[in-house]
Amino acid sequence: MKKISDRVCKIGASGIRKFFDLAQKEKDIITLGIGEPDFDVPEKIKDRAIRAIENSRNHYTSNYGIIELREKISKKLRNRNKIFAAPEKEILITAGSSEGLDLAFRTIVNPDDEILIPSPSYVSYIPTTLLSDGIPVVVPAYEKDEFRLLPEEIEKRITKRTKCIVLASPNNPTGAILRRKDIEEIADIAIKNDLFVISDELYEYLIYDNEEQFSIASIPEMRERTITVNGFSKSYAMTGLRLGYVAASEEIIEGMMKIHQYGMLCAPSVSQYAALEFENCENDVKAMAEIYELRRNLLYKRLNEIENISAVKPKGAFYIFPNIKQSRLSSENFAERLLKEAKVVVIPGNIFGKDGEGYVRISYSTSTENIEKALERIEKFMGNLRK
């Protein structure tokens, strides 16, 4: 019997799934592993979805997505991000930001193109590069720099085959945010070396300590070479509605459209109509972000009080990435034992890249009560390790 494609064989299954599967076999589990908001979809969005179904808005839409939503996104990009994207030809509505990332890689990557990817970072970047026949080149981000991706680390890894830089701010799993100065220097590098940039801005509304979200595509010289990927899953708690969007040049969007129309045809119609209310849900988003910030503060304080654990204070998203090297366990062994012995799910840092070894990802997209209970269990677990 013939084998499946070499392209698929190059990638493995998501390491995150392994821990959720293990957790299913245990009782009295507290999960700090899932990257999904514990809040409900804002009521205005739910009501709009119901009206869409009742009004039979459940058929195919334009491949690009409904024009009303693209116009609202264009306005939001212009006002908030200072990105100018024409709604007709420079914005594409996707089935979640994950599809947007997949389309971005497949549209610009040729065989053996090198893609510079932060490490640690979101688990999909490397597999998606490989599925596009590209070569992932990891760029380490260090704890001493608050896990920010530094321009000099990017520059030293550029070769004649480099095609694109991937940016993620805020970052999953570290919660790091790139400073404006960093982004401007990265833009200079991209321009000098004629590179594309894929900018993953999915967590843009989940930013703390009055930090600034700065979009690289707002730099005029970067407009044509940047693919901005965003969506509604995290900030609006719409994970199951599968809705994202991409802003890029007309040429890139047209290329992405060719793949999108054959593989997906269009993003879910009801979700598109529901998202027309996103402008009216700013208070909901702000309220969620404020609660995340309180949870972050609790985790940061308590983790740093536990012997042999330390953590950098994340500036965004809803993750913290504590250093567990003093436990003398690998990230995977630490997470497995914590699950078995303390009934707490965290995600091993090495799943997010080799530079994540010695760390674990903790999500604070769960109740304060769960976080407090989990911290008690983690502290007891660490105490038992010392015995």
CATH number at residue 203: 3.40.640.10
User: How far, in Å, CA of 368 to CA of 53, rounded?
Assistant: 35
Q: What's the maximum distance between 2 C-alpha atoms anywhere in the chain?
A: 64
Whether 80 and 211 map to the same domain: the answer is: yes
Whether 69 and 204 map to the same domain: the answer is: yes
Residues with Cβ within 8 Å of residue 356, at least 6 apart in sequence:
119, 120, 173, 321, 331, 348, 349, 350
Domain, as residue range, for 354: 6-41+282-385
What are the angstrom distances between the C-alpha of 265 and each of 58, 92, 230, 256, 292? 14, 12, 19, 12, 35
pTM for this entry:
0.96
H or E stretch at 283: helix 282-303
367, part of any domain? yes
Q: What is the pLDDT of residues 204-230, one digit of tens each?
A: 999 999 999 999 999 999 999 999 999
Give, in degrees to the nearest 5, the angle at Cα 282 between 279 and 284.
125
Write the secondary structure of 13-79 as one string of H (helix), E (strand) and C (coil).
CCHHHHHHHHHHCCCCCEECCCCCCCCCCCHHHHHHHHHHHHCCCCCCCCCCCCHHHHHHHHHHHHH
pLDDT for res 387: 67
Whether 297 and 261 map to the same domain: the answer is: no
Q: What is the pLDDT of residues 75-118, one digit of tens each?
A: 999 999 999 999 999 999 999 999 999 999 999 999 999 999 99
pLDDT for res 9: 86
Q: What are phi and psi of 173, to 5 degrees?
A: -110, 0
Domain count, the chain: 2
248, part of any domain? yes
Task: List 295's β-bridge partners, or say none.
Answer: none
Pairing of strands 114-119, 135-140: parallel
Domain CATH for 10: 3.90.1150.10
Whether 196 and 328 map to the same domain: the answer is: no
Whether 261 and 343 map to the same domain: the answer is: no
Whether 214 and 79 map to the same domain: the answer is: yes
What are the angstrom distances between the C-alpha of 40 and each of 119, 204, 249, 263, 364? 31, 19, 34, 29, 15
Q: Among 279, 305, 325, where does a domain finish?
A: 279
User: How far, in Å, CA of 282 to CA of 286, rounded?
Assistant: 6
Give the mean model confidence (pLDDT) for residues 271-299.
Answer: 98
Give, in degrees to the nearest 5, the angle at Cα 226 between 223 and 227.
125
Look at residue 368 and give its three-state secondary structure: helix
pLDDT for res 3: 86
pLDDT for res 164: 99
What are the angstrom distances between the C-alpha of 13 and each of 121, 188, 243, 295? 16, 36, 23, 31
1, part of any domain? no
H or E stretch at 4: none
pLDDT confidence of 25, banded at 50, 70, 90?
confident
Q: Among 279, 307, 325, where does a domain finish?
A: 279
